[in-house]
Amino acid sequence: MAREFNVADTQTTLFDALLDAARKYGAKRPILEDQERNPLSYTDLIRAAFALGGKIADLTSPGETVGLLMPSSSAGVVTVFGLHAYGRIPAMLNFTAGLRNLRAAVKLASVKRVVTSRRFIEQGKLHDLIDALEERCEITYLEDVRASLKTSDRLVALVASLFPRRVRAKLKPTDPGVILFTSGSFGAPRGVVLSHANIIANVAQVAAHIDLDPDWVLFNPLPIFHCFGLTAGVMLPILTGMKAFEYPSPLHTKIIPPLVKDCGASILLATDTFVNQYARASSGDELSGLRFIVCGAEKVREETHNLIADRFGPVPVLEGYGATEASPVIAVNKPNDNRRGTVGGLLPGIETRIEAVPGIARGGRLFVRGPNVMTGYLDASGALEPPDGGWHDTGDVVEMTLDGWITILGRVKRFAKIGGEMVSLTAAEDLALSLWPEGRHAVVAMPDGKKGERLILVTDRRDADASKLVAHAHAVGASDLTAPRRIVKADEIPVLGSGKTDYVAILRMAEAEGPGR
């Protein structure tokens, strides 16, 4: 059953929370597995963290920020806890962000050493990233670290795992637990510092909101450089007794469904795009054993809800909502209270403030405050900028019911001013989606000499036609202004590594097509 949320219970560090979970659920309990199919118990994870962390500690200084360039894997999780064990701060580097953003990230976070895997670099053909990083950082390969482990190192790790609280670094809950970088959906990513207590609070908030069973398995194909993948995909299961099954890429649509079934997964984390693809690639009942699916990063389409229900029976798809700055979960639907079209109920312990936005009639701009809200952003000099009064401006325009269920109307920056009226780009996307539910759509705004701005629909629907979209708007009673008159057709809609739509790339595509009519 769901647990009561008490902020006092979150005042610890991530490594100590791991030790507490081992004591509570059993040190020999299998808690971590990946595609290599070598499950690790709590004891195995703690011992490996001390062994690996000790060798990295020899190369770094206490309190140093260490870049981590790794996919979702057991090795990646062990490295995170290994850095914590010796008082280092992991900075989770997005290997899909491009050279420019990656260089900016290591500079912003003052990263002098990056830990990665030679096998990962080879398989992902990421040598250009390593070349770029080597201009500023030392590169440490996990294969070399493992090869350098001596018998004495293993004995030290064994002793440390027997007396972990005597050996591990003495950190405070308010110390930086991880540095993450925002998705960059609309521009350059920002460095976000989350404390140990921030992440632990978010884990506790989710566990108080949804009933979780320690006997469940959570399957996570989302990247651990993204906050959803790290907190929900790693920390949530491990700290609540569930086994975390880490998979290195959400793109392997034919491999993941049978693996979900084979590992006995109860929960699948994904995005709408990937869930839809998994359902279509599945050859049988491979997702039927899931208790539920949790989706973030993008809106869950009605077509996806229906596809899962038709193919796999009563497996609810729970849409959630979050922000890196909130560790990340702010709201999520429940298996027994799943309100389609909303992003779910507000998590316990989060305060909200909704401010009216000039020109936007419905809803208001959402601000959140709570124990899961970040320590702050890194400014250009690497100094910390805490949120004003503890409030984080989400930049989202929302409506919220009296019982705390949230509906996203759009981002403030995703409204266009057309003929003096504010028009939601999200509403324009929803209009296209309602007409062509199996397509992928993105709407951007560009300057217009007559009306201020104009909407451009970028879609993978080859038969998309502006006149049909206008007629559909009239038929459903939508505002004429929400129907884009210009359509750009693409083979696919670009997404970021987190699964979010890449609106920077979308805008470039629209600009490349020229002004149109």
Cα 480 from Cα 372, distance rounded (Å): 41
Distances (CA, A) of 250 to 92, 172, 246, 256, 497: 18, 34, 10, 8, 9
Q: What are the boundaries of each domain within the chain?
A: 12-190, 419-512
Closest CA to 414 of 503, 478, 509: 503
Cα 493 from Cα 515, distance rounded (Å): 20
pLDDT at 498: 61
pLDDT at 497: 64
pLDDT at 420: 65
pLDDT at 480: 73
CATH 3.30.920.30 for the 419-512 domain, yes or no? no
Instruction: Calculate ∠ Cα 8-10-15, nearest 5°.
Output: 140
Helix/strand/coil percentages in the chain, nearest 5: 35, 25, 40
Report whether 397 contacts 363 (CB < 8 A): yes
Q: Which residue has the tokens 């998994």?
A: 278
Cα 41 from Cα 241, distance rounded (Å): 11
Q: What is the pLDDT along the chain (517 residues), one digit of tens a residue?
A: 567 888 888 899 999 999 999 999 999 999 999 999 999 999 999 999 999 999 999 999 999 999 999 999 999 999 999 999 999 999 999 988 888 889 989 999 999 999 999 999 999 899 999 998 998 999 999 999 999 989 988 998 998 888 999 999 999 999 999 999 986 555 567 899 999 999 999 999 999 999 999 999 999 999 999 999 999 999 999 999 999 999 999 989 999 999 999 999 999 999 998 999 999 999 889 999 999 999 988 889 899 999 999 999 899 999 999 999 999 999 999 999 999 999 999 999 999 999 998 878 888 999 999 999 999 999 888 889 999 999 999 989 999 999 999 999 887 777 776 766 677 787 788 888 888 888 888 888 878 767 677 888 889 888 888 888 888 878 887 777 778 888 888 888 887 766 678 887 888 888 887 655 4
Q: Do the first three CATH levels of 12-190 and 419-512 match, i.e. the same topology?
A: no
Q: Which burial class, exposed, middle or buried, applies to 101 when counting CB atoms under 10 A from its CB (0-12, 13-18, 19+)?
A: middle
Distances (CA, A) of 204 to 112, 113, 194, 367, 382: 33, 32, 15, 21, 30
Residues found in the chain: 517
Q: Which CATH architecture has domain 12-190?
A: 3-Layer(aba) Sandwich (3.40)
pLDDT at 419: 65
Report whether 29 contacts 241 (CB < 8 A): yes
Residue-wise burial string across 446-462, b where 16 or more C-beta atoms lie within 10 A, e elsewhere: eeeeeeebbbbbbbbbe
